[in-house]
Structure 1
Amino acid sequence: MALARVAATVGPMPSPRSDGRHPDQLRPITFEANIAPYATGSVLVSFGSTRVICAAMIEPKVPLWMRQQGVRGGWLTAEYSMLPYSTLDRKPRDISKGKLDGRTVEIQRLIGRSLRAVVDLMKLGENTLWIDCDVLQADGGTRTASITGAYLATRLAVQRLVDAGKLAENPVLDSVAAVSAGVCGGQELLDLNYVEDKDAEVDANIVMTGRGQFVEMQSSGEEATFTHEQLLSLTALAQKGLKEIAALQTAFLTKCLLAR
């Protein structure tokens, strides 16, 4: 901390963001357990004003394709939706459009891939673990909040199943979380809110395990390009935030599991 104060005195501090954060600062992140009592495990995750209910439920069967192909073990899949009142203008439900839009499909596949990266499907037995992420309020970063909360819902659900003797052992191998980083107004920022995200020249979403292994990196220029050095800098910025998020996840789970 002393070094940080010295550095601040010898150079100008970056301009604060619209919500007063420093460029490398996460939004306030909170988790609330058991928000959906009938789910096997559930968490309300908040990244600033973005709020998502993440729930995990077990189904005692596997998809037909697994049975047909003789694939052993279990399966984990995810569904994602933004509730009509989650944005300033009402968002129509996918069912009213007759099909899922491309963004919804992309995000729920990303959530599923992220969780399967840290779950040993063989240890699930012939069960499917369903992850449902429903956005209550959107202010940027709904996919990253969903992944972060989905891991916690999964971990709570798995513990309940182990305690009940429905799973022989914990299939969760590591934690996983996600965060955004981007370039807005020429400045590299961590955990973009909606105002920043819509105007960003470069936007990246990075998924990482608690041990620091990358699961997925999505980065794109919005009518702009970016350099290799900027990509590395944004990755380092995201890594910093993800380490902080992993610590928050660990503290939350420790509190929940001690209280059970």
Structure 2
Amino acid sequence: MTPSTSKTPVRQDRDALTPRAVHVVRGVNPHAPGSAHLKMGRTEILATVTLEDKPAPHMRGSKEGWLTAEYAMLPRATSDRQARERNLQNGRRHEIQRLLGRALRASMDLRHFRNQTLYVDCDVLVADGGTRVASVLAGHAALHDFCDRLIHSGKLSEWPVVHNVGAISVGLVGEELRVDLDYAEDKVARADLNVIATSDGKLIEVQGGAELGPITVDEYMRLLNAGVTAVGDVMQELSRQLAVIQGI
């Protein structure tokens, strides 16, 4: 079963394989040693980095530090007010936090932060689809800002970001493969994936699946390949902006 043609959103501003425009500003939080405000279409994320001189309990005695991530959506990030997430057992939030942690740990050489813990907080200011993939991008940008400041201050002599890690959503909307779904597309997609990869095309994680019945292996592989290509495109633009916007 596929959505009816009349319900399939038509893209007005970009073609099927073009991600939404990405814009990032670094150093937006004067209290955080690393921060970034990222817009991806209408979705907006604020990410901050905190360094704690204390190892995670399971990393005591290790030669590496640890990185963990937290994710939250502000009450008016969506069209209807959502209650603040006071329930620590929120399943969706924990799933996204684990994804963010795995993705951002893969980007860092944590030997530079032995006996320390990095916290990356990603807060959704405005949600229009793709909040978890935009949070990966925002988290990467905030870590870039954080590491840049350490290098400029002389506290670190070697660049600790070993992989430029990004993410993108891909989906089948009707019979059309689309990259970077907004909310209107996501809610009618018959299959969607979140692809987390490096800028040079190496996979870290893939989440998602069919929504309205099974899809073929060929369709899945087309989605995966389009996602990896789109991550490379997004990271090329994001890296360009991070190199220009110092915020130091």
Could you state the TM-score of these two structures normalised by the residue count of structure 2?
0.92
Q: What's the offset of the Cα at 1:168?
A: 4.1
Residue 207 of structure 2 corresponds to 218
Counterpart of 1:236 (choices 225, 230, 238) is 225
Whether the aligned pair in 2 keeps the contact of 1:16 and 1:22 (CA below 8 Å) is no
| Residues in 1 aligned to 2:213 and 2:28: alpha-carbon distance in whole angstroms | 41
Deviates more, 1:53-62 or 1:158-167: 158-167
Residue 12 of structure 1 corresponds to none
Could you state the TM-score of these two structures normalised by the residue count of structure 1?
0.88
Q: What's the offset of the Cα at 1:176?
A: 0.6
Q: Which runs of 5+ in 1 are unaligned?
A: 1-14
Residue 162 of structure 2 corresponds to 173
Residue 197 of structure 1 corresponds to 186
Residue 4 of structure 2 corresponds to none
Counterpart of 1:40 (choices 30, 33, 41) is 33
| Residues in 2 aligned to 1:65 and 1:232: alpha-carbon distance in whole angstroms | 37
Whether the aligned pair in 2 keeps the contact of 1:51 and 1:136 (CA below 8 Å) is yes
Partner secondary structure for residue 132 of structure 1? strand
Residue 7 of structure 1 corresponds to none
Whether the aligned pair in 2 keeps the contact of 1:62 and 1:75 (CA below 8 Å) is yes
Deviations 1:155-176 (A, max 9, x none): 1101212332333422210111
Q: What's the offset of the Cα at 1:198?
A: 0.7
| Residues in 1 aligned to 2:67 and 2:151: alpha-carbon distance in whole angstroms | 17
Distance change >3 Å, CA 201–CA 16, structure 1 → 2: closer
1:55 aligns with 2:48: yes
Counterpart of 1:137 (choices 126, 136, 148) is 126
Deviates more, 1:120-129 or 1:137-146: 120-129
For residues 151-190 of structure 1, the aligned pairs below 5 Å read 151-190=140-179
**Bigger radius of gyration, 1 or 2?**
1
Residue 118 of structure 1 corresponds to 107
Q: What's the offset of the Cα at 1:72?
A: 2.6
Equivalent pairs counted in the alignment come to 241
Partner secondary structure for residue 146 of structure 2? helix
**RMSD, matched Cα:** 1.7
| More helix, by proportion | 1
Q: Which runs of 5+ in 2 are unaligned?
A: 1-7
Partner secondary structure for residue 187 of structure 2? helix
Q: What's the offset of the Cα at 1:79?
A: 0.3
Whether the aligned pair in 1 keeps the contact of 2:22 and 2:238 (CA below 8 Å) is no
Deviations 1:205-234 (A, max 9, x none): 001112211111113111311111111111
Partner secondary structure for residue 163 of structure 1? helix
Q: Deviation above 4 Å: which 4+ runs of structure 1?
A: none
* Higher RCO structure, 1 or 2 (CA under 8 Å, sep 6+): 2
Deviations 1:107-146 (A, max 9, x none): 0110110011121111222211110100000000000000
| Residues in 2 aligned to 1:62 and 1:213: alpha-carbon distance in whole angstroms | 29
Whether the aligned pair in 2 keeps the contact of 1:125 and 1:167 (CA below 8 Å) is no
Q: What's the offset of the Cα at 1:248?
A: 1.0
Counterpart of 2:20 (choices 13, 16, 27) is 27
Residue 87 of structure 1 corresponds to 78
Q: What's the offset of the Cα at 1:17?
A: 2.5
Residue 107 of structure 1 corresponds to 96
Deviates more, 1:185-194 or 1:120-129: 120-129
